[in-house]
Structure 1
Amino acid sequence: MKRLPIACLAALAASCAGAAKAPRSPWAASNPDWVEPFTPFRVYEEIYFVGTRGLASYLIATPEGHFLIDGGLPENAPLIAKNIETLGFDVRDVRILLNSHAHFDHSGGLAALKEISGATMVASQGDRWALESGLVPGAEDDPAMAAPPVKVDRVISDGENLTLGGATLTARLTPGHTKGCTSWTMTAGDSEILFFCSATVAANRLAGPPQYEGIVADYRATFERTKPSRPDILLANHPLFFDMEERRARQVAGDANAFRDRESFPALMARLEAAFEKALAEHTAKAIEK
């Protein structure tokens, strides 16, 4: 493992200067844990948590370079790089940048992280426009939803593999939350790992008019597609979705299987599907009233 040189930290500070000096996102004001530091740690095998208390980013470390999934808010980029350094790795060894979905709280730091690392940005076609424009389809005029644009170097398709240093990640398109919402699966040790995108409704409009055409069908297809899935370890872009802090506390206390739970993902999806159907009924009723 390589320590990050002082010169690299200085370069990172320069490349991320805009993010570091910019006012905090208006969303961070109401979600302070999104910018709150959290001690980085090894989750399992070559997988490391390098995000904040409220927004997850993951480093998958290999001898030939690393994957980095998600960049948090724009102002999170320097902290993510620092977390990578704290673990003994060099951010310049990140070879492939991945994104769960093109919302500012997960894509905001990608441009700065790409600049310092020189990594290849890989994303789905469905989210390519949003990443490269920095805008959210259906909310193009809302500055609070914008993120720094990042160029997509390679478009990934459903079921396509990315391999680096013996680690293989497979793209699983799970649209709805965004048009190109992408989950990632991999095998580490003797476990199947799922980095789940999202299936929350959040700020999306499901009707009157919908956030994007086909959004309801996409959500329902994702719920159906994921019903058979029971990964050994569920990791998500919001730590609360997999009880990260509670599991980390158990891990620190000596529980080597703290993150293993094959019932976690089915339980999460059942809750999200029920919430989706409730939101759809509400959005449809409001659209009819108009």
Structure 2
Amino acid sequence: MSNNPRTIIYLRSVGTTTHGGAEHARNMQQQACTAAAIMMSGSPVRRDAQGEPQLLNSAPVIEPISGSDKNWKQIVSTLQPQDTLVVATLAVLGDTPSQMVAHLMQAVATGCRVIVADMPNVDVQLIRQVALSFMPLEQKAERLSNELDGFYASRSEERATYAREIQKSLIDQLYRRGIDLTDLLDPQKEAKPVNDDIRGRRLRSLRESLELTAAEAGQLVTLVGADKPYGKQLVSAIECGHDTTEKADVFETALNAERARRKIQAKLDQQIAKAHGQPPNSVELQLFGPQEASHA
């Protein structure tokens, strides 16, 4: 290993999160460290193209990650008593008082000279005494941080569990209605028809209110565009909710059209009856109600 004295500038961004902010902080640190090394240790310098002083036999060591100390460990392992270590401020050595003191003591133990740019004199014992007085606060902060991490972890697990329960509930509810989500994974697989019991019961109730049999109701679909009448089996499947294809839509349209036709016909019959002084009949009362039937 070379016995030539070295001036090592250790740079680490402190309290910044953006890339641009970290780079600016390191540039400011390097300027402060260079000035301190020239003034306090008389390190040899040269002038760059802009006339700024640059240290000879020196290369800044940058810690690219704010909370890391990987490069610091490499520096300490190579420090010699004739070397000079320069940092801009004590905070560069560690994010916590205990870490800062530990790194400072590691550097001092190598016998090298330590320069802190914003301190005229590095009194290791005084720094250690002051830093260690903050240990209770540091320990409390660490404990609260661990509790907070634990709380977030537990809440994250609760959310994940709740999400799984909701997902399972939705899949179960869809499956009960004839929707198998695994069908979506196979584009070649035809979708199963969905049972629509509510719609089926409503259509059956509408058919029965018109006093139509399944066969009679099946004949109506030809009036709204169907190629042929629906048989009893198909009408039954629609009313049970087993058939929810466009055939069910046509069947519902046919029933609504028949109800509208009867309502118009009943209104015409009512007007004719009123002209002859006849009271409303049972069909008029059922379709319009007593009050509307009397005044229509």
On whether the aligned pair clears a TM of 0.5, the verdict is: no
Which gives a bigger RCO, structure 1 or 2 (Cα 8 Å, sep 6+)?
Answer: 1
Greater helix proportion = 2
TM-score (norm 1): 0.28
TM-score (norm 2): 0.27
